[in-house]
């Protein structure tokens, strides 16, 4: 209601602007009841600086002009948003009345005008959007904030505090023959400006009818120090996960024995690299005031076309040709070319694979593996180098030294695009002085049809049982190929896999008397498998229903069972229905038919139902399903999932039967969450994605006396949108070394109140290192709707009296009123031609945002009894004068 009144008030004020601009003091020309709008009133407007929201702020709105009520605060927000002007200059400019320029607002059909939403200025200007209760702030170009996130090659970390940030995950599983529990954690502890302690751990417990076992293990625990955002050093226990990610330079090795070590590593890092601008060359920026299409030309050659949001935006130039040449940009708004700009562009390098710089690493220590093929730790040293040969081609090579053995893996990676086609190719070769060898190839190609091919071959000397080799305890041959293409409105796909694996028995492997007749000397684990499948799938929309059908044929062969082949057909009919609260209900029914050579033909029918809904606490989901086939087998399951501020938890119970065995109940569940501990105290949040050490953004909502319900909505990171209450904390987990964005917005209306975020709302960019906690504070105001009627001491209605607590809103002829207030008034003050009245309201608990106070009896009082914030004699006298002028002479001075 408060927002609706704001929009209506500003719209009426705008509509009256022309009428009152000629003779603003000529009150009789103003329609009765709208005199207050001519004088102006303070409104809560949402301020925008290009595409950034600065929150709700009080603004005095008068016909044709506006005045900021808190210019120093607005100036500080503009500086925080990146404006390059001085705070003193901005505060001085914002302290003066500014033309509202409402005729330039892009609302109510005006968006078709090419000039809407934009205004050239040599200082500061605004555009008042009366319909949307928004105020767009514009500044001279050299004062506008630069898009740093898209202009710099390396990210500058966001200022944050050191903290312990941890993500935990718990899995449970139970069947008729076993129980299992698995827990794992991934954490980072910030220790300095550019250093942290990273660690991962896991605990596994397993129990069956014959035995039980448990194990706690730390896979990683190391100290890392970053230098100049391009080099790092770390020491401790380390696996290869960091080395194969941007943190360690994105080294991809599939054949080389790179295991977990206890030691030290130094090298280059791509963790700080801004992946949005790698290889783009000279940045091309332009200012957009609304979402627009931007076409880029080199002469008559169209280089790119894209839709960009309002703000200081950068054109994606990653596909632009190398060289130096002018680029012409055409800005198209609502189907019309509004302006054309020509800018210089230059690029001479840039690697489409990630970066155009040389990457390297060097590490050494002792092995820390726990496999059957290692009796004691061994000394190990490793080094690697990646060299970009051209924009889309890179060469990588690495060497491992383990005791007296040496291994080398060298690989080429090539990725590129041509028109609508794109591809990637890679090939690697392994060689070792102990006889180990291997090679791998991978290819992807997309041009309507999609091809994928992967081949992996590794042969160890242990296959001949003549030597010991680090992590080379067998031989492996793998081939996987797949293809898909659109056909007849559906997708035709084919796949082929082949795998051959040979493994040495560990007892034979470590036999100290090879001349003895040992029955386990031969390879005791050797198997192969081959699979071929061809299928076609298509979906149909039948009104509110979706029909999906799949048909295919398959052939499976392996070394330990008979060859099997057959055909299958699946039909699924689903219906999705969304609710008004943002949830959904999904119902589905499916039929599976399968015919195999070595099994009875089977027909399975399944029914399933899913319902999900949202509330202020989080998201809820319930799933049920049953199935039955013509062999007499049946299955049923029921599960649920809840997402809360403390994490996500799911649980499923299933049971099967009908196959001449006892019914087999099973249970499975998962819980994931995150936590942070820093100077601001303890935060608990949802589980995050990613595999690297994490960071987090902590949101702290200021308390408001007697306020309940949600203070704001929060979204960002890897968690779902959630809400935060007054005086509460929330944690938004994010990945370390990864650019992310959070957004704070007004909470949805609840039974308790209507809340608006005054400080801290809008979107914000973050780039946090592992072990860092950034804290963002927000302040919200609440609004309660009071409905009632005012009468004087004699019981007569206070007709058309101004309610001073609510921006001079007037009562009806019968004294009725509806006002929005952000606190409980004690009392409610009203003004009519007989003077000031105090109307006491009985204090009630805030169980609802709508408060019906009934008929209030008001007592006459003096102006001195008004609170300081309402004591404005000049304003009250002007209202009295206008009210007298609006009345006929015979009613003007009636008691």
Instruction: Answer with the residue of higher pLDDT: 326 or 616.
Output: 326
Please state, in angstroms and rounded to a whole number, the distance separating the CA atoms of residues 194 and 772.
10
Which residue's entry shows tokens 């609502």?
A: 334
* 563: confidence class by pLDDT, cuts 50, 70, 90: confident
For the ranges 148-152, 250-254, 774-778, which has the lowest average pLDDT? 148-152
**pLDDT score for 330:** 84
Please state, in angstroms and rounded to a whole number, the distance separating the CA atoms of residues 755 and 747.
6
In DSSP terms, 497 is beta-bridged to: 480, 531
Q: What share of the chain is helix, strand, coil (3-state, %, to 5)?
A: 10, 55, 35
What would the two tokens of residue 161 be? Answer: 């505090």
> Is residue 154 within 8 Å of 277, Cβ to Cβ?
no
Beta strand pairing call for 261-268 and 835-839: unpaired
> Is residue 675 within 8 Å of 636, Cβ to Cβ?
no
**pLDDT score for 10:** 39
229 Rama class: left (phi>0) / alpha (psi -120 to 50) / beta: left
Query: Which one of 145-154, 172-181, 212-221, 334-343 scores highest in mean pLDDT?
Result: 212-221
Instruction: Summarize the confidence of residues 817-838 as an average pLDDT.
Output: 85
Q: Which of 417, 398, 384 is nearest to 279 (CA)?
A: 417
Query: Which one of 20-24, 275-279, 421-425, 659-663 scores highest in mean pLDDT?
Result: 421-425
For the ranges 85-99, 142-156, 608-622, 796-810, which has the lowest average pLDDT? 142-156
Please state, in angstroms and rounded to a whole number, the distance separating the CA atoms of residues 236 and 693.
15
Strand residues in 228-310 grouped as ranges (E) = 231-238, 261-268, 285-288, 292-298, 301-308
Please say if the pLDDT value at position 813 is more than 60: yes
What would the two tokens of residue 444 be? Answer: 């992807």
Orientation of helix 71-80 relative to helix 87-94, angle to 10°: 140
> Is residue 654 within 8 Å of 637, Cβ to Cβ?
yes
**pLDDT score for 511:** 46
Instruction: Answer with the residue of higher pLDDT: 276 or 682.
Output: 682
Please state, in angstroms and rounded to a whole number, the distance separating the CA atoms of residues 457 and 619.
46
Please say if the pLDDT value at position 468 is more than 50: no
Instruction: Summarize the confidence of residues 832-861 as an average pLDDT.
Output: 80
Q: Give the Cβ contact number of residue 450 at 10 Å.
A: 15
What would the two tokens of residue 321 be? Answer: 């040709």
Q: Which of 778, 776, 804, 777 is nearest to 790 (CA)?
A: 804
Q: Is 399 exposed, middle or buried (0-12, 13-18, 19+ CB in 10 A)?
A: middle
What would the two tokens of residue 716 be? Answer: 């960002």
> Is residue 836 within 8 Å of 853, Cβ to Cβ?
no
**pLDDT score for 177:** 75
Instruction: For the chain, give every domain's residue range.
Output: 2-145, 160-223+632-783, 285-347, 792-886
Helix, coil or strand: residue 90 = helix
For the ranges 279-293, 535-549, 618-632, 787-801, which has the lowest average pLDDT? 279-293
Instruction: Answer with the residue of higher pLDDT: 227 or 823.
Output: 227
What lies within 8 Å, CB to CB, of 434 at 6+ separation is: 405, 461, 467, 469
Please state, in angstroms and rounded to a whole number, the distance separating the CA atoms of residues 746 and 838.
33
Please say if the pLDDT value at position 147 is more than 60: no
Q: What is the pTM assigned to this prediction?
A: 0.71
Please state, in angstroms and rounded to a whole number, the distance separating the CA atoms of residues 507 and 375.
12
Please state, in angstroms and rounded to a whole number, the distance separating the CA atoms of residues 60 and 67.
5
Strand residues in 89-163 grouped as ranges (E) = 98-99, 124-129, 134-139, 161-162
Q: Which of 784, 799, 855 is nearest to 831 (CA)?
A: 799
384 Rama class: left (phi>0) / alpha (psi -120 to 50) / beta: beta
Helix, coil or strand: residue 556 = strand
The dihedral through the CA atoms of 82, 85, 86, 91 has a sign that is negative
Please state, in angstroms and rounded to a whole number, the distance separating the CA atoms of residues 547 and 518.
60
**pLDDT score for 599:** 60
* 148: confidence class by pLDDT, cuts 50, 70, 90: very low
Instruction: Summarize the confidence of residues 777-792 as an average pLDDT.
Output: 84
Which residue's entry shows tokens 């799911």?
A: 650
Query: Which one of 250-254, 342-346, 407-411, 841-845 scores highest in mean pLDDT?
Result: 407-411
* Measured CA distances, 77 to 57, 135, 246, 467 (Å): 11, 14, 34, 69
Instruction: Answer with the residue of higher pLDDT: 101 or 3.
Output: 101
> Is residue 100 within 8 Å of 61, Cβ to Cβ?
yes
Please say if the pLDDT value at position 237 is more than 90: yes
Which secondary-structure segment (H or E) carries 339?
strand 336-347
Kindly report, residue by residue over 358-382, the tens digit of the pLDDT.
899 999 998 886 543 445 678 889 9
Helix locations, 223-359, DSSP H: none
Please say if the pLDDT value at position 151 is more than 80: no
Which secondary-structure segment (H or E) carries 198?
strand 195-208
Which secondary-structure segment (H or E) carries 332?
strand 323-333
**pLDDT score for 222:** 95
Q: What is the dihedral of CA 365, 369, 370, 376, to 10 degrees?
A: -40
What lies within 8 Å, CB to CB, of 404 at 6+ separation is: none
Which residue's entry shows tokens 């080398």?
A: 408
Instruction: Summarize the confidence of residues 175-203 as an average pLDDT.
Output: 89
Euclidean distance between the first and the last CA atom of the chain, given in angstroms as a whole number: 33
What would the two tokens of residue 100 be? Answer: 């509202």
Please state, in angstroms and rounded to a whole number, the distance separating the CA atoms of residues 765 and 151.
14
Q: Which of 776, 772, 769, 733 is nearest to 167 (CA)?
A: 733
> Is residue 227 within 8 Å of 233, Cβ to Cβ?
yes
Please say if the pLDDT value at position 771 is more than 90: yes
**pLDDT score for 385:** 93
Please state, in angstroms and rounded to a whole number, the distance separating the CA atoms of residues 776 and 75.
19
For the ranges 48-62, 421-435, 488-502, which has the lowest average pLDDT? 48-62
**pLDDT score for 360:** 94
**pLDDT score for 196:** 94
- The percentage of the chain sitting over the pLDDT mark of 70, rounded to a whole number, equals 77
The dihedral through the CA atoms of 342, 348, 350, 356 has a sign that is negative
Average pLDDT, the chain: 77
Please say if the pLDDT value at position 28 is more than 60: no
The residue count of the chain comes to 895
Please state, in angstroms and rounded to a whole number, the distance separating the CA atoms of residues 218 and 237.
8
Please say if the pLDDT value at position 334 is more than 80: no
Please state, in angstroms and rounded to a whole number, the distance separating the CA atoms of residues 575 and 607.
12
Is the backbone peptide bond immediately before 570 cis, with ω within 30 degrees of 0? no
Please say if the pLDDT value at position 619 is more than 90: no
Please state, in angstroms and rounded to a whole number, the distance separating the CA atoms of residues 102 and 107.
10
Beta strand pairing call for 772-791 and 694-701: parallel
Beta strand pairing call for 634-644 and 647-657: antiparallel
Kindly report, residue by residue over 653-699, the tens digit of the pLDDT.
888 887 666 567 788 888 989 999 999 889 998 886 666 778 999 98
> Is residue 120 within 8 Å of 339, Cβ to Cβ?
no
**pLDDT score for 531:** 86
The CA-based angle 240-245-250, given to 5 degrees, is 100
CATH architecture for the domain at 2-145? Roll (3.10)
Please say if the pLDDT value at position 521 is more than 90: no
Kindly report, residue by residue over 420-465, the tens digit of the pLDDT.
677 888 899 999 888 888 898 989 888 878 888 988 888 877 665 5
For the ranges 386-390, 441-445, 454-458, 556-560, which has the lowest average pLDDT? 556-560
Please say if the pLDDT value at position 7 is more than 60: no
Instruction: Summarize the confidence of residues 719-733 as an average pLDDT.
Output: 81
> Is residue 363 within 8 Å of 381, Cβ to Cβ?
yes
Q: Give the Cβ contact number of residue 877 at 10 Å.
A: 10
Helix locations, 446-579, DSSP H: 506-509
> Is residue 268 within 8 Å of 230, Cβ to Cβ?
yes
What would the two tokens of residue 625 be? Answer: 């399903």
Please state, in angstroms and rounded to a whole number, the distance separating the CA atoms of residues 371 and 381.
19
Instruction: Answer with the residue of higher pLDDT: 263 or 333.
Output: 263
* Measured CA distances, 653 to 268, 625, 666 (Å): 48, 11, 6
> Is residue 106 within 8 Å of 115, Cβ to Cβ?
no
Please state, in angstroms and rounded to a whole number, the distance separating the CA atoms of residues 90 and 97.
13
**pLDDT score for 773:** 94
**pLDDT score for 116:** 67
For the ranges 181-185, 525-529, 870-874, which has the lowest average pLDDT? 525-529
């Amino acid at each position: 209601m408060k927002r609706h009144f704001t929009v209506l008030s500003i719209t009426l004020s705008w509509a009256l602007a022309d009428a009152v601009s000629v003779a603003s003091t000529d009150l009789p020309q103003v329609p009765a009841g709208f005199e207050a709008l001519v004088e102006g009133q303070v409104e809560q407007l949402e301020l925008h600086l290009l595409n950034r929201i600065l929150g709700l702020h009080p603004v005095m709105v008068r016909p044709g002009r506006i005045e900021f009520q808190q210019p120093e605060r607005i100036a500080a927000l503009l500086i925080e948003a990146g404006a390059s002007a001085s705070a003193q200059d901005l505060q001085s400019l914002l302290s003066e009345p500014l033309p509202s320029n409402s005729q330039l607002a892009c609302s109510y059909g005006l968006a078709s005008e090419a000039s809407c939403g934009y205004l050239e200025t040599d200082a500061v200007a605004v555009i008042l959007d009366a319909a949307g209760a928004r105020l767009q702030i514009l500044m001279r170009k050299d004062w506008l904030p630069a898009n740093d996130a898209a202009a710099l090659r390396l990210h500058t970390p966001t200022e944050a505090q050191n903290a312990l940030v941890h993500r935990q995950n718990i899995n449970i599983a139970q069947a008729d023959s076993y129980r299992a529990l698995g827990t794992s954690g991934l954490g980072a502890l910030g220790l300095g400006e550019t250093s942290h302690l990273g660690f991962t751990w896991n605990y596994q417990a397993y129990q069956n009818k014959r035995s039980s076992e448990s194990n706690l293990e730390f896979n990683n625990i190391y100290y890392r120090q970053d230098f100049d955002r391009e080099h790092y050093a770390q020491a401790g226990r380390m696996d290869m996960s960091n080395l194969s990610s941007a943190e360690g330079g994105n080294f991809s090795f599939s054949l080389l024995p790179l295991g977990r070590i206890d030691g030290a590593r130094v090298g280059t890092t791509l963790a700080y690299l801004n992946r949005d601008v790698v290889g783009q060359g000279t940045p091309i920026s332009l200012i957009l005031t609304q979402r627009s299409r931007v076409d880029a030309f080199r002469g008559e050659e169209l280089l790119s076309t894209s839709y960009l949001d309002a703000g200081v935006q950068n054109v994606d130039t990653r596909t632009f040709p190398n060289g130096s040449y002018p680029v012409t940009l055409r800005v198209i708004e609502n189907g019309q070319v509004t302006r054309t700009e020509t800018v210089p562009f230059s690029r001479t390098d840039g690697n489409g694979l990630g970066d155009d710089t040389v990457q390297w690493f060097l590490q050494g220590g002792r092995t820390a593996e726990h496999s059957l093929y290692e009796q004691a730790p061994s000394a190990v040293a490793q080094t690697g180098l990646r060299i970009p040969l051209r924009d889309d081609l890179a060469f990588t090579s690495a060497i491992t030294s383990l005791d007296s053995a040496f291994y080398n893996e060298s690989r080429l990676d090539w990725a590129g695009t041509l028109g609508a086609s794109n591809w990637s190719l890679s090939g690697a070769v392994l060689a070792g002085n102990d006889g180990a060898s291997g090679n791998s190839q991978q290819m992807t190609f997309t041009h309507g049809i999609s091809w994928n091919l992967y081949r992996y071959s590794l042969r160890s000397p242990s296959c001949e049982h003549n030597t010991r080799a680090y992590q080379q305890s067998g031989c492996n041959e793998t081939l996987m190929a797949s293809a898909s293409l659109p056909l007849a409105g559906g997708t035709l796909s084919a796949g082929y896999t082949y795998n051959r694996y040979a493994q040495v028995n560990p007892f034979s492997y470590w036999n100290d008397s090879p001349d003895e007749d040992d029955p386990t000397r031969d390879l005791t684990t050797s198997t192969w498998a081959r699979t071929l499948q061809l299928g076609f799938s298509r979906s149909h929309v039948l009104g509110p229903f979706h029909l999906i059908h799949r048909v295919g044929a398959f052939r499976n062969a392996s070394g330990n069972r008979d060859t099997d082949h057959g055909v299958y057909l699946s039909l699924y009919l689903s219906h999705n229905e969304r609710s008004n609260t943002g949830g959904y209900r999904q119902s589905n029914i499916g039929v599976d038919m399968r015919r195999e050579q070595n099994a009875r033909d089977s027909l399975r029918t399944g029914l399933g139902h899913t319902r999900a809904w949202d509330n202020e606490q989080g998201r809820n989901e319930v799933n049920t399903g049953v199935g039955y086939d013509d062999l007499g087998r049946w299955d049923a399951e029921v599960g649920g999932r809840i997402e809360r501020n403390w994490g996500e938890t799911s649980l499923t119970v299933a049971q099967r039967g009908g196959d001449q065995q006892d019914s087999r109940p099973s249970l499975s569940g998962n819980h994931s969450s995150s936590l942070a501990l820093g100077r601001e105290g303890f935060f608990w949040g949802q589980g995050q994605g990613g595999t690297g050490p994490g960071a987090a953004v902590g949101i702290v909502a200021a308390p408001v006396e007697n306020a309940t319900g949600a203070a704001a909505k929060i979204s960002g990171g890897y968690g779902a949108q959630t809400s935060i209450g007054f005086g509460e904390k929330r944690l938004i987990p994010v990945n370390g070394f990864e650019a992310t964005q959070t957004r704070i917005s007004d909470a949805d209306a609840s039974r308790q109140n209507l809340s608006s975020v005054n400080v801290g709302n809008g979107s914000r960019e973050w780039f946090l290192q592992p072990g860092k906690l950034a804290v963002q504070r927000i302040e919200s105001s609440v609004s309660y709707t009071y409905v009632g009627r005012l009468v004087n001491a004699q019981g007569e209605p206070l007709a058309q009296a101004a309610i001073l607590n609510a921006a001079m809103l007037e009562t009806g002829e019968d004294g009725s009123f509806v006002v929005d207030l952000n606190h409980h008034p004690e009392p409610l003050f009203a003004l009519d031609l007989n003077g000031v009245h105090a109307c006491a309201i009985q204090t009630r608990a805030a169980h609802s945002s709508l408060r019906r106070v009934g008929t209030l009896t008001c007592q006459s009082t003096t102006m001195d009894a008004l609170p300081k914030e309402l004591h404005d004699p000049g304003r009250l006298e002007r209202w009295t004068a206008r009210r007298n002028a609006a009345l006929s002479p015979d009613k003007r001075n009636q008691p």
